[in-house]
Amino acid sequence: MHILLTRPLEDCSEMILKFRSLGHQVSHLPLINIEPLNYEEIKFSDYKVIIFTSANAVKFLDFKDIDKKLLCFCVGSATEKKARSVGFQNVISAEGNVNNLKELVLQNFDPKDGKLIYVSGEIISYDLDQQLLKEGYSIKRIINYKTNYNKKFDENFVKELKLKIPDIVYIYSQNSASSFLSFIKIHQFESLWMNTNLMCIGEKSSSILNEIKWKKIFLFNPGEEEFLLYKI
C-alpha cells in the first residue's frame, strides 16, 4: 500500500522505517512545523502534579528546576515515552485520549493535595485546565510551543503524489487537518481521494476533512497506526 505520513520528520521517522520494512510505499508530507515559545518563569516546587498533552510539550520545557519524582500525567504512550526519556519517574498515561486523561487525574489525585501545572501548545482541542478547575483543582496552564502551517511544498513531490494518490493518509491534529485541506484545495486535489482511507486522531480533525470524499474514515489513538493497516 501507499501510505502518506504528515507529521514533522522527527516525529514519524520510526514509523516511516517501520512501514517500509513491512513492504509499503511511504510518502512524507510535513503539514506543520513546531516552534518553541518563551513562557513565564515557574516555581515548579509549588506544584504536586505536571500534565502533558503532547510530546512537544515535554520537549520544549526547561527541566533544570523540576523534581523528576513529580506525579506526571500524559495523554498517551508517545508523550509518556518522551516524559520518561527526560527522567520523569512517576508517569501515568491515558492512552491517547484527553477525556480519559481528565478521568485519570480525577481518580489518582485529590484536589486538596496540591496544585497542578498543565503544559501544552498554543492551540488545544480540549480545555483540560478549565474542566479541572470546575472539578475543584488549582491548575495553571503554560504554553511552550505553537504550530505553524507549512505552505511551500516541492513541486515534483506534488506531481508524483497526484499521479499516485495514497491508499492511506494519517492526520494527527486539527492543525494538520486544516493544513491538509488547504493543500488539497491549492493543488486542486479535491476529487482524487475516493479510494483513500483517512486515519484521524479525534472527530474534530476528521470533521475538518469531511467535505472531501474518502473511501472510509477511521479514528485512532497514537500507537495504533500499524494496527489500522489490518482493518482496511
Residues 6+ away with beta carbon under 8 Å from 98: 53, 75, 125, 126, 128
Query: Average pLDDT, whole number, for the chain?
Result: 92
What integer is the mean pLDDT of 183-209?
92
Nearest residue to 139 (alpha-carbon basis) of 164, 109, 160, 166: 109
Reported as a single tens digit per residue, the pLDDT across 165-178 is 999 999 998 889 99
pTM for this entry: 0.81
Residue 130: predicted pLDDT: 94
Residue 11: predicted pLDDT: 85
Burial of 80: CB neighbours in 10 Å, binned 0-12, 13-18, 19+: buried
Looking at residue 191, the DSSP 8-state letter turns out to be: T
Q: Given a cut of 80, is residue 125 above it in pLDDT?
A: no
Residue 87: how many other CB atoms lie within 10 Å: 11
Reported as a single tens digit per residue, the pLDDT across 25-63 is 999 999 999 999 999 999 999 999 999 998 999 999 998
Q: Given a cut of 80, is residue 215 above it in pLDDT?
A: yes
Percent of the chain residues past pLDDT 70, beyond the cut: 100
Query: CB of 178 within 8 A of CB of 169?
Result: no
Domains of the chain: 2-31+151-229 (3.40.50.10090), 35-147 (3.40.50.10090)
Reported as a single tens digit per residue, the pLDDT across 60-111 is 999 888 999 999 999 988 899 999 999 999 999 997 678 889 999 999 999 9
